[in-house]
Amino acid sequence: MAQTLFAQISGRDTGNWLVLMHSLGASHRLWDVQMPAFEQQFRVLRLDLPGHGASPLAPVTGLEAMADAVLETLNAKGVAQAYFCGLSLGGVVAQSIALKEPNRVLGLVLANTGAKVGSAQVWGDRVQAVRSAGVASLIPALISRWFTAGFAQAHPARVRAMAEILDGANPQGYVMACESLAQADLREAIHAIKAPTLVIAGEEDLTTPVSDSEYLASTIPGARLTILKAAHISNIEQPGEFARLVLEHCAPGQVSQAALREAGMLVRRLVLGDAYVDAKRKDAPADLLAFQDFITEAAWGQVWTRPGLSRRDRSLLVLALTLAGNREAEFVLHLRASKSNGVTRDEIREFILQAAVYAGVPAGNHAMNLAQKIWAEEDAATGKSG
């Protein structure tokens, strides 16, 4: 009998089960950022896959042993049916479960994964590197593939948090997972998956490129594909967008206002910064908090989480509208925040020049003066020059 795995349960007692499975070298903490949104909608079970986090090693190497360990854990927790969301390695395990026990699976979200991930040579080289120098030796290369350069530069704390998880990975568990992936090939089997399936890809994912997701979406009957502006760990790079996709797929037509508000809060914090959001909410009276909740749900949850435009494009659009509408406070707020969405100063200069042609030179002149003032303050605070 397979060993049970470490599992953490939270969320709504009356909600459908949502089982979350993480990427290679990570743990259940991969999903920390989405939990406020998911817990409003689902009964969430997030686990550490075999040999990861606090879970024991699988008894033998192989994808089937990993899937059996997950199923054994669900049996122990009384989970008869669930939606499954797996990223990378977790997505391969989710496919295996959907094939082994189709009646158990209400729906699938397969993120940044494939029916066949990498090659035997790739995983053999990875195993050799871990055995020679440990998982820590891989961290710089992995992080560069996990996140786009712009995101890593704008959000170093979030990248460091993932590096710390990798740094604590069990080398033996990591090796066994690599060997399991080297053997796993579900390309000829996934046509039999019957569960409603959402495939999420990262536009700049080098580990599981868009072509891998396209194969999943074209082979699994009825599957649909969404491509996010992200690299491999799309749930961290696009947290609100990812949360909304999962919510709408796993609770179609039933997404609560509270869950959507929490998804919006993920984007709001990423764009405006935790310090700004916390300061706005600290000691705020009830009526002001209610208004903030409305804005977070309507603007950030309903609009900013939509995958149709990147956060960078939305950032520039907000700047254009606030410039043209003479909304100085909002323009300044979003100008300061635009760098978190990857907008550079040179791009702002070009944007203001373009906007001045259509919104008027006085508006453009005022915007440029505001930008120069903000950049001077930032440079003074950091000791840098623009």
> Residues 301, 205: one domain?
no
> Residues 166, 52: one domain?
yes
> Residues 231, 351: one domain?
no
> Residues 189, 301: one domain?
no
Report the CATH number at residue 322: 1.20.1290.10
- Please, which residues bridge with residue 17 across strands? 43
> Residues 235, 270: one domain?
no
pLDDT computed for residue 284 by the predictor: 85
22 alpha carbon, distance to own chain's centre? 11
> Residues 208, 161: one domain?
yes
> Residues 285, 208: one domain?
no
Residue 346 in any domain: the answer is yes
- Under 8 Å between Cβ of 370 and 328: yes
pLDDT computed for residue 385 by the predictor: 59
Nearest to 215 by CA among 306, 307, 122, 110: 110
> Residues 190, 68: one domain?
yes
- Under 8 Å between Cβ of 340 and 273: yes
> Residues 359, 246: one domain?
no
Number of domains in the chain: 2
Q: Which residues of 66-98 are buried (b: 16+ CB within 10 A; e: fewer)?
A: bbbbbbebbeebebeebbbbbbbbbbbbbbbbb
pLDDT computed for residue 109 by the predictor: 98
Let me know the angle formed at the C-alpha of 84 by 86 and 121, rounded to the nearest 5 degrees. Answer: 30
Query: CA 191, CA 155: separation in Å to the nearest integer?
Result: 39
Residue 1 in any domain: the answer is no
> Residues 198, 292: one domain?
no
Residue 115 in any domain: the answer is yes
pLDDT computed for residue 386 by the predictor: 53
How many residues are present in the chain? 386
Residue 67 in any domain: the answer is yes
Last residue of a domain, one of 254, 284, 303: 254
Three-state SS for 13? coil
Specify the DSSP element, H or E, that contains 199. strand 197-202
Last residue of a domain, one of 197, 223, 254: 254
Report the CATH number at residue 133: 3.40.50.1820
Give residues with Cβ within 8 angstroms of 55, minimum separation 6. 5, 6, 47, 48, 49, 69, 173
Query: CA 329, CA 237: separation in Å to the nearest integer?
Result: 27
Residue 42 in any domain: the answer is yes
Residue 2 in any domain: the answer is no
Residue 221 in any domain: the answer is yes
> Residues 59, 162: one domain?
yes
Which residues form the domain of 290?
A: 259-382
- Under 8 Å between Cβ of 19 and 87: no
> Residues 53, 83: one domain?
yes
Query: CA 314, CA 350: separation in Å to the nearest integer?
Result: 16
- pLDDT by residue for the chain (386 residues), tens only, comes to 567 999 999 999 999 999 999 999 999 999 999 999 999 999 999 999 999 999 999 889 999 999 999 999 999 999 999 999 999 999 999 999 999 999 999 999 999 999 999 999 999 999 999 999 999 999 999 999 999 999 999 999 999 999 999 999 999 999 999 999 999 999 999 999 999 999 999 999 999 999 999 999 999 999 999 999 999 999 999 999 999 999 999 999 999 999 999 999 999 999 999 999 999 888 888 888 899 999 999 999 999 999 889 899 999 999 999 999 999 999 999 999 999 998 999 999 999 999 999 999 999 999 999 999 999 998 988 877 55
Give residues with Cβ within 8 angstroms of 170, minimum separation 6. 51, 52, 57
Residue 37 in any domain: the answer is yes
